[in-house]
Amino acid sequence: MTPSALSVPLLVVTLVSVFVYAVRFVRARAFLAAIDWWIALALVLAVGGGAALNPATRPLTGFIAFAALAALLLLPQWLEAKSQRAARLANKTLAVTFATLAAILHPSPRNRAQPRALRTLLALREGREIPAHEIDSLAHGQPAVLQALSLIVEHNRGNVRAVYDAMAPGDERPLLYAMGMGLLHLRSVALLEPTPEALVRTITEVTALDPTINDPDRKALLVAFSLAYVGDREGAFDASRSLAAYLAPGEPHALRALALFCSGEPELAQREIREGITANARRPAAVHSLETLARVLREVPPRTSSMHSASLADLVERLRGEARTLAVIAPLEGRSRTPWLTLSWCLALVLVHGWLSLRGSPYDPEHLARSGGLLTSDFTVFGDLRSSWPKLFTHGLLHAGALHLVFNLLALNSFGQFCEAFYGRIRSVAIYLLAAVTSGLAVAHLSDPLRPTVLVGASGSIFALGGAVLAAVVVDPELRATPRGRRELVVLVLLFTVQTVMDQLVAGVSGTAHMTGLATGALVGALLTVAARRTRERGSALAKRA
């Protein structure tokens, strides 16, 4: 896989990406608001065009254009998303670092102001007093923004009444909802106006009018804490476990404490808060939030019993279903435990490549064959399968050059994280190894025995993980029904279609290994997904009988 062979596919990917971004910006119908992104698109095209016109850089046009795309569009968006996620988890260092890097790569006014804004907001969450002039400067003279920031300050002080009174007028509420204040209003209503009608109305309003709820983290908060506010202790406790990947430190304890309080158990709620403070002693934001919650729950009127109404019962059932769906799509959203298996396997491939490069050229077929590459003639009538079978596994550890390795690492990191979270580590390893065997045998038996070649690379196994992701989205109705699941399905189909075309155009790439791995992963993934779903359904049926 030489650089010149990869240049054309990368150029195609870049042009398609630019077109997709342009369509997205046009559909947003806010040209001036996205002017900095339009400039970035123009720069990508200018850099790619300049490379194509220069004879010295023309063979590497695809690489140069894709690098510009990554630096000016893909990486800034990824860094911004990581910054917001770190801020949600109250990780100030990571949040500010990611925001600063995003501002360097994409220095729009908003991005440049983001690191300072995050520092201020995280300081508020830790309970520190922020000077009024600093709050004013963050608002940039906009009264609505200043009001929203003031409500955040009052919320962090535990002043539930101030939030409730500020958002009580119906004419001001939609604007504050549009600025992400929906969850704050819901908490104030749940603690000060805990009637079935008020809770159903407020949860419905927040879902419809607060655009930040489209973010999976915020949606998970709305669903989980709504179950607590309506007094559904069992549902809230289940959500604290199933949605733990979405919750910041301290929030699972706050969720369970509110569920206990709203179901008429204030003493147990205070005990849960004390346990949370002890468990998060080294996290100032979590400790401050729990201490504030403890004070609030002592000051608001206690709940004496659970509430009942037909509309509330329907809402609880819907919220429980949304909690299950959010738990299922968590791996697609990158909301899962640390993918140790995927990270370890990526490191292993890097180390093996370093060892291979030290002992000889990774482009030399003879060196690759001696080091564990699969020589196709070993698995035909001319070969000796007994001495060659270990190469069915070792060929996936070797890569013909750094570019081959880098592209496989990117794909492995993407597909591997989902499979590790969705299927589990043991099943993911089984899919990976089985695909290494099937793809190796397929390439060997479909190749010309008189013209043996050396097969190396983890592509077959990685495509199997991609096939397993595809199978999960297709087979699991809860996953397929979500907007994220449908987007993932479209992306995967496009990705595998493009890869199939590239396999025919790029020399030295084994389309047979890719397609065999994809088929293996899709088949095994479908079987595992069906089995897991039946197990969940049997467990739910038994729980209902109990």
- Mean pLDDT over 209-229 rounds to 91
pTM (two decimals): 0.76
For residue 1, the model assigns a pLDDT of: 43
For residue 279, the model assigns a pLDDT of: 94
- Mean pLDDT over 58-87 rounds to 88
Q: How many residues are given for the chain? A: 546
- Mean pLDDT over 264-278 rounds to 94
Stated as kind and residue range, the H or E segment containing 120 is helix 109-125
Nearest to 334 by CA among 227, 249, 241, 413: 413
Distances from the Cα of 126 to the Cαs of 156, 225, 244, 286, 289, in angstroms? Answer: 8, 21, 21, 8, 8
Quick check: helix, strand or coil at residue 389?
Answer: coil
Q: What band does 380 get if pLDDT is binned at 50, 70 and 90?
A: low
Encode pLDDT of 112-163 as tens digits.
888 888 888 888 888 788 787 777 777 777 787 888 888 888 888 889 999 9
Q: Is the pLDDT of residue 195 over 70?
A: yes
Give, in degrees to the nearest 5, the angle at Cα 442 between 383 and 10: 120
Which residues, in sequence order, are CB contacts of 321 under 8 Å at separation 6+? none
- Mean pLDDT over 59-71 rounds to 88
- Mean pLDDT over 14-33 rounds to 79
- Mean pLDDT over 452-480 rounds to 86
For residue 382, the model assigns a pLDDT of: 45
CB atoms within 10 A of CB 288: 21
**Higher pLDDT pick, 228 / 493:** 228
- Mean pLDDT over 355-376 rounds to 83
For residue 2, the model assigns a pLDDT of: 45
Q: Is the pLDDT of residue 465 over 90?
A: yes
- Mean pLDDT over 349-378 rounds to 84
- Mean pLDDT over 291-315 rounds to 85
304-312 long-range CB contacts below 8 Å, 24 or more apart? 304/264, 305/264, 306/231, 306/263, 306/264, 307/194, 307/195, 307/196, 307/199, 307/230, 307/231, 308/196, 309/196, 309/197, 309/200, 311/196, 311/197, 311/200, 312/196, 312/199, 312/200, 312/230
Encode pLDDT of 403-434 as tens digits.
788 888 888 888 888 888 888 889 999 999 99
Quick check: helix, strand or coil at residue 375?
Answer: strand
Residue 331 C-beta-side C-alpha neighbours within 13 Å: 19
Q: What band does 55 get if pLDDT is binned at 50, 70 and 90?
A: confident
Q: Is the pLDDT of residue 450 over 90?
A: no
Beta bridge partners of 454: 375
What secondary structure does DSSP assign to 151-210, as a single string? HHHHHHHT-HHHHHHHH-STTTHHHHHHTT-HHHHHHHHHHH---HHHHHHHHHHHHHH-
